[in-house]
Amino acid sequence: MKQLILGGVRSGKSRLAEHLAAASGMAVTYIATAAAGDEEMRARIAHHRAQRPAAWQVVEEPIALAAALRAHASADGCLLVDCLTLWLTNLLCSDDSGALARERDALLTALPSLPGQIILVTNETGLGVVPADPLSRRFCDEAGRLHQALAVACDRVIFTVAGLPQVLKGAPL
C-alpha cells in the first residue's frame, strides 16, 4: 500500500505516519530527507530522531530519493519518507539545474512498482497566499504538481489538520 500524508507545519502528519508505520507490524525503514544546514534544522532533526523507535533503520537521503526507495523496499517492510517538501527544497537549491525534473520523474516512475508499504509525508503549501518571491512561487507550484501526481499513484491520501486525519482517498483509518 502506498500512502500520502499531507498537512501543514505541526499538523500531526509525521506523528500519524509514524503511528501507521509502527502499526504495520513490519520492519520500518525511515528515509529522512532533511539536510542539517543550520542550528534550528539540526535541533528539528534531533527531535525527530529522539521520537523514533530505536529498532527502525534510518536512511538519510536528501536528493536521490527514488534510488533509496528502490534499495530499501521489500515485500515485508514499511518505508516511511519524511518529508517530500524538504526533499523538494533540496532539489530546488541544488547546483544541478536538472536534478528536480530527474529526481521527481524517478520517484513517480519507481513508486508504483515498489513492494511493501510506503508512507510519504509532505507539507501542503497551497492553502495560503501566493508568495511574493519567484523561488517561493516555484516551490509552491512544484509541490502542488508533485502532490497531485502522488495522489493519483497512492492508494490512500490523508490530510491532517490539528492532529486529526481526514482520509481524502482510499480506505478509512
Instruction: Tell me the per-residue pLDDT of 79-119, one tens digit each, with 9 for 90 and over.
Output: 999 999 999 999 999 999 999 999 999 999 999 999 999 99
Cell of 100: 528536480
Split into its structural domains, the chain has a count of: 1
Q: Is the pLDDT of residue 42 over 90?
A: no
Given a contact cutoff of 8 angstroms between Cβ atoms, the answer to whether 117 and 156 are in contact is: no
Choose, from 19, 48, 72, 147, the residue flagged as catalytic. Answer: 48
Please name the helix (run of DSSP H) or strand (run of DSSP E) that holds residue 28, with its range, or none. strand 27-32
CA dihedral angle for residue 74, residue 80, residue 84, residue 85, rounded to 10 degrees: -170
Residue 145 binned pLDDT confidence (cut-offs 50, 70, 90): very high
Cell of 63: 536528493
**pLDDT for 75:** 98
Q: What CATH number did the domain enclosing 58 receive? A: 3.40.50.300
- Are 20 and 138 in contact by the 8 Å Cβ rule? The answer is no
**pLDDT over threshold 90, residue 46:** no
Q: Tell me, yes or no, if 147 is annotated catalytic.
A: no
End-to-end, the C-alpha distance of the chain in Å comes to 13
Confidence label for 166 from pLDDT (cuts 50, 70 and 90): very high
39's CB contacts (< 8 A; 6+ apart) are none
Tell me the per-residue pLDDT of 109-141, one tens digit each, with 9 for 90 and over: 999 999 999 999 999 998 888 899 999 999 999
CA angle 38, 39, 44 (to 5 degrees): 100
Range of the domain at 67: 2-169
How confident is the model at residue 164, as a pLDDT? 97
Residue 45 backbone zone (phi > 0: left; psi -120 to 50: alpha; other: beta): alpha
Could you tell me whether strands 156-161 and 164-169 are parallel, antiparallel, or unpaired per DSSP bridges?
antiparallel
Is 102 in a helix, a strand, or coil?
helix
CA distance 152 to 138: 22
Within 8 A by CB and 6+ apart from 32, the residues are 45, 48, 58, 59, 60, 61, 82
